[in-house]
Amino acid sequence: MDLYSYVPLKQYRYYFERCDAMEQKAYGALLDGYLKQKKEIRVWVANIDSLWEIHQAICFDVPEVFFVKKIQASMNPVLGITTVYPEYRFDDKNRADILAQMESSIDIFVRRIKMLSEHEKVKQIHDFLIRSVTYKDVDAPYSHEAPGALLYGIAVCEGISKAFKYISDRAGIKAIVAVGKSSSTDNDTGHAWNIVYVDNLAYHLDVTFDYSMSKDSITRYDYYLLSDTQIKVDHTFSGLPKCSTDFEYYEQIRCFAPNKKILRRLIADKLKPGKPFVFKTPALSRNKEEIVDTITSAVSAFVSFPHTLGRSISISYNWERMIFEVQLQ
């Protein structure tokens, strides 16, 4: 039994494109072996490190190979042939069943967004994952893979990013699983997010970071369609496509306060009792305390209105992105 039927024909494979001719041949042989669930796969690679990088490339490009738990290899230096011994999760039937369940789990959703613009598709996929996944680092074969997010609703950043790519492949969106470091992770574990193409422009998109700030009453877009410059405030990476365009979601939806006057007007127009209001502002001051005082002053002036008297104010901050959430409780 081979599993080719579960892999989209037009799947975007960024890491394959980065390989040289020899590496691409090894990539193809490995992927063919995985999908045919071979016990031994013979490839020609420069060294074991190159083999590991090619294996990682496949795992990021093709989230359907979640069932490859790990690989071992032996190299014949005389013949230049490396024999790879994959260790698979589950038996043949269970692998196919899980892949079929993954397709079924998003089929209605993908059909519903099929006719939307690329931007609307990306936003819908972003929101779908934030609503349906709980971030949880559990000792299970799924949390770092797409099935964790799509079938069990439990995943870490890697599983969420692979799920985003899995859905994007089927929705006609070019997406990449990006890996690097972030300010919330230590130097050993790293972090994963996505790069996505909208109207032929590349952007960073971190569903995990947005999930961490979202609530039942509001979905956050602090890390939605960012440029390299914007995301580098708390992400580090190398070897990824250049993202040079600023989208700035909160500016697009007119929740952007470039000065104190507009900030006060936004607060008066947008802040409603019991409903969080999120906005972005540039650094109105070099001092964080002064920025907080400015926002608090604007909110306090609004709270003095008769219909808001007696309500308490809560303000939360994303200092790296200068995005603020205000709520009257």
Quote the domain boundaries for residue 125.
Answer: 92-247
Sign of the torsion formed by the C-alpha atoms of 292, 293, 296 and 302 = negative
Q: Tell me, what's the pLDDT at 188?
A: 54
Q: Kindly give the interhelix angle for 48-61 and 21-35, rounded to the nearest 10 degrees.
A: 60
Residues 79 and 22 reside in one and the same domain: yes
Q: Tell me, what's the pLDDT at 57?
A: 98
Residues 202 and 286 reside in one and the same domain: no
Residues 64 and 109 reside in one and the same domain: no
Last residue of a domain, one of 88, 122, 155: 88
Q: Tell me, what's the pLDDT at 329?
A: 72
Q: Tell me, what's the pLDDT at 306?
A: 47
Residues 115 and 233 reside in one and the same domain: yes
**In the chain, which residues have pLDDT < 70?**
139-141, 184-189, 283-286, 302-311
Residues 33 and 126 reside in one and the same domain: no
Instruction: Write out the two tokens for 45.
Output: 């690679």
Residues 80 and 103 reside in one and the same domain: no
Beta strands, E only, 162-257: 175-182, 191-198, 201-205, 224-226, 235-236
Residues 279 and 188 reside in one and the same domain: no
Instruction: Write out the two tokens for 230.
Output: 């914007």
Q: Tell me, what's the pLDDT at 300?
A: 75
Q: Tell me, what's the pLDDT at 287?
A: 73
- Answer yes or no: are the C-beta atoms of 210 and 323 closer than 8 Å: no
The number of distinct structural domains making up the chain is: 3
Task: Measure the CA–CA gap between 40 and 88, rounded to whole angstroms.
Answer: 12
Residues 261 and 315 reside in one and the same domain: yes
Residues 99 and 237 reside in one and the same domain: yes
CA 267 to chain CA centroid, nearest Å:
31
Sign of the torsion formed by the C-alpha atoms of 302, 303, 304 and 305 = positive
Residues 72 and 114 reside in one and the same domain: no
DSSP string of 162-176? Answer: HHHHHHHHHHT--EE
Task: Measure the CA–CA gap between 19 and 15, rounded to whole angstroms.
Answer: 7
User: pLDDT tens digits for 97-113?
Assistant: 999 999 999 999 999 99
Task: Measure the CA–CA gap between 27 and 45, rounded to whole angstroms.
Answer: 10
Last residue of a domain, one of 88, 114, 140: 88
200: left (phi over 0), alpha (psi -120 to 50) or beta: left
Last residue of a domain, one of 197, 225, 247: 247
Task: Measure the CA–CA gap between 16 and 18, rounded to whole angstroms.
Answer: 5
**Domain harbouring 130, CATH code:** 3.10.620.30
Residues 180 and 260 reside in one and the same domain: no
> pTM here?
0.93
Residues 109 and 236 reside in one and the same domain: yes
User: pLDDT tens digits for 148-184?
Assistant: 999 999 999 999 999 999 999 999 999 999 999 998 6
Q: Tell me, what's the pLDDT at 309?
A: 53
**Domain harbouring 78, CATH code:** 3.30.1370
Q: Phi and psi of 60, rounded to 5°?
A: -80, -35
